[in-house]
Amino acid sequence: MMWRTIPLVMILAYLSTLDSQYVTSVVGLVLTAIAVLLQLRPFSMKFYDHPIPAKGSEGHVWKIIECKSGQSIQLYIGMRLRWPRKFKTIDVRFVEKPWYYRPLWLANDVPRNSIRVLSIDDQQYAVLKKKDYRLIDNQENKANGREASYKDPIDCPFWGWMWYSLKISSDRDWNGYLSFEIRRGNMLRARVRSPICFKIKP
């Protein structure tokens, strides 16, 4: 384990030789970059086996689904905020990369009528009966996914959880990503994408 601390010790030793004002500027730039990245991707997504799992339950960063062609499958996801965020609209869809090295943020929507998000529900309303978390205007987003809004913006605190259930289906074997986007207005948006795989049973 000691070898892992050697680079850190070397970095600290090097910084100690620099001018304190220069070090302060570098640290400030690094912290600013981290803050910007957290605002661009302020949350993480995991797949779960239950609507609102017990505290301490470990989710999965990817999901393999075995089902029959066209079968409706219930999928539970948890979103954890890394940065305080207020949002009103959510957009869920499946995306895929046309080639391996293309950046994930340039992924394409899946072909129409092959893999679908049929519905989305906020489990804090469906299970915990929190009225502020009721989704309205739940409709297709013209990309085989769903778009829904809250009546009033949701203010999710730092490290807070949001819980959703989806009904999804696929007509074929497929590997790609589930894309989840939150937004408030047209410009204030952020998204996360997690790998998912469909295996169709005969």
Number of Cβ within a 10 Å radius of residue 134: 16
Residues 6+ apart with CB under 8 A from 84: 155, 156, 157, 158
Is residue 6 located within the same domain as residue 104?
no
Number of Cβ within a 10 Å radius of residue 186: 7
Domain count, the chain: 2
Is residue 96 located within the same domain as residue 34?
no
pTM: 0.76
Is residue 16 located within the same domain as residue 97?
no
Residues 6+ apart with CB under 8 A from 86: 153, 154, 155, 156, 184
Which two tokens mark 72?
């409706």
Return per-residue pLDDT of the chain as tens, 202 residues: 444 455 555 666 665 666 666 667 766 776 666 555 555 567 889 999 888 887 778 889 999 999 999 999 999 999 888 777 788 899 999 998 766 656 666 678 887 778 999 999 999 887 777 888 888 888 888 888 999 999 888 888 778 888 999 999 999 999 999 999 888 766 667 888 899 999 999 8
Is residue 132 located within the same domain as residue 176?
yes
Is residue 30 located within the same domain as residue 54?
no
Which two tokens mark 102?
């293309």
Say which CATH number the domain at 94 has: 2.60.40.10
Is residue 106 located within the same domain as residue 161?
yes
Q: Give the closest residue to 117 by CA, choosing from 96, 97, 94.
A: 94
Is residue 97 located within the same domain as residue 195?
yes
Host domain of residue 162: 42-200
User: Residue 171 class from Cβ within 10 Å (0-12 exposed, 13-18 middle, 19+ buried)?
Assistant: middle
Is residue 20 located within the same domain as residue 105?
no
